[in-house]
């Protein structure tokens, strides 16, 4: 797929690292020029310096060819405008926006954003459920259901450490989506052996999240 990502902070950076093994064509637009140079050297993707709400820049970058358009800057207004431009001017089928203020989720969806993700609201839910979010950080709540995408840092004392994926007793309906090990990102298979300090991205039911924490931490 052809994927556009607006904003390359921590969320944007790890999103790119997760998507790269799947051979997607990725374009990043980032306002910080110095950071753009570092990203271009670190990631094998197109990195453009500029404002993701600039319709001329989006046109020159080829946004009209995007399959998915993702805005994850630290400003809700910029994320909303960027997604609206992608949808209305470039007819992108799927737009995703990071929402820093969870009160804006309904507004974003009403104004045409396909998926609005609020890290603040998911963290709040984790606190209420007394979940240790230092061990598992919820990145997104997947729309239309209770599926959640979570990031897990594998502990040395974990039951999963130094064990093949095929030998793990994972909670029902949990899927290991990708693994970051040092500078390498890959999609695990049954023969993959997980190691201490691996960062693992997991899709699971919200009801299974505590079991995920108990298993990996």
Number of alpha carbons in the 13 Å side-chain half-sphere of residue 110: 5
Range(s) within the chain of domains with CATH label 3.30.70.1450: 131-216
Q: Tokens 């944007």 label which residue? A: 12
- What's the mean pLDDT when you consider all of the chain? 83
Record the pTM: 0.60
Rounded Cα–Cα distance for residues 195 and 198 (Å)? 6
Rounded Cα–Cα distance for residues 141 and 150 (Å)? 9
CATH topology (fold) of 2-117: Rossmann fold (3.40.50)
CA 29 to chain centroid: 16
> Closest by alpha carbon to 177, among 207, 198, 197, 155?
198
Edge-first strand order for the sheet with 2-6 is 46-49, 25-30, 2-6, 68-71, 94-98, 115-117
Query: What top-level class would CATH report for the domain 131-216?
Result: alpha beta
Least confident window among 118-132, 133-147, 169-183: 118-132
What's the pLDDT at 141? 61
Range(s) within the chain of domains with CATH label 3.40.50.720: 2-117
Q: What is the mean pLDDT of residues 7-12?
A: 82
> Closest by alpha carbon to 111, among 140, 91, 75, 85?
85
């Amino acid at each position: 797929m052809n994927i556009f990502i607006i904003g390359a902070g921590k969320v944007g950076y790890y999103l790119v690292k997760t998507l790269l093994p799947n051979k997607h064509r990725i374009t990043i637009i980032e306002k910080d020029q110095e950071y753009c140079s570092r990203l271009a050297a670190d990631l094998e993707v197109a990195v453009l310096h500029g404002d993701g709400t600039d319709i001329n820049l989006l046109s020159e970058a080829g946004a009209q060819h995007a399959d998915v358009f993702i805005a994850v800057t630290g400003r809700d207004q910029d994320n909303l405008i960027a997604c609206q431009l992608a949808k209305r001017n470039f007819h992108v089928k799927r737009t995703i926006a990071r929402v820093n203020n969870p009160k804006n989720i309904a507004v974003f969806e009403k104004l045409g954003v396909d998926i609005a993700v609020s890290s603040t609201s998911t963290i709040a839910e984790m606190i209420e459920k007394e979940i240790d979010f230092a061990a598992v950080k919820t990145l997104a709540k997947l729309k239309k259901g209770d599926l959640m995408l979570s990031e897990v840092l594998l502990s040395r004392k974990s039951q999963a450490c130094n064990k093949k994926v095929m030998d793990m007793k994972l909670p029902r309906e949990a899927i290991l989506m990708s693994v970051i090990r040092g500078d390498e990102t890959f999609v695990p298979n049954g023969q993959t052996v997980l190691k201490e300090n691996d960062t693992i991205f997991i899709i699971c039911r919200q009801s299974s999240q505590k079991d995920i924490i108990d298993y990996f931490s």
